[in-house]
Amino acid sequence: MLVLLVIFMITLPLIASRLTVQLPETDAQPTVQESTAVELAIDAQGQLFWDGIAVSDAELEMRLQAAARRRPKPDLHLRADKTTPYQRLAEVMSAAQRNELNRIGFITAPKTP
């Protein structure tokens, strides 16, 4: 019985990969999904930029509150200078969490060889 199961597990992917399906064509245009992410940049001096616009700490708090009311809640992408003080990052992340924006991603640049 176990041998049959193993044979089935091995042959099924091979059969499925040979299966060709011709999909129907329609006139429908592909839908473009709106990005729900907002980008917050922090320069080396700790200055904040919300989607490219300089903001103060008070303005950041208001924008985070407004973003938290959106549905679905947006992701927060942090683009911080590598020399940004850790304390500043912690303050920004704390403000995001206070406003229930918990999906936070860090934007980095790929290493160059």
For the chain, list residues with pLDDT below 50.
16-17, 19, 21, 23
The predicted pLDDT at position 90 comes to: 95
Determine, yes or no, domain membership for 13: no
56 within a domain of the structure (yes/no): yes
Number of domains in the chain: 1
**Rounded Cα–Cα distance for residues 21 and 46 (Å):** 54
21 in any annotated domain: no
* Residue at 17 is within a domain: no
What pLDDT is attached to residue 12?
57
With beta carbons less than 8 A apart as the criterion, state whether 41 and 52 touch. Answer: yes
pLDDT digits (tens, 9 = 90+) for 35-53: 689 999 999 899 999 988 9
Is 69 a member of any domain? yes
Specify if 24 maps to a domain: no
Check if the beta carbon of residue 85 is closer than 8 Å to that of residue 92: no
Identify the pLDDT of residue 36. 80
**Do residues 50 and 59 lie in contact, with contact meaning Cβ atoms separated by under 8 Å?**
yes
Give the per-residue pLDDT at 63.
96
Give the CATH number, domain containing residue 68.
Answer: 3.30.420.270
Residue 18 inside a domain? The answer is no
Residue 52 belongs to some domain of the structure: yes
* Structural domain that includes position 68: 38-106
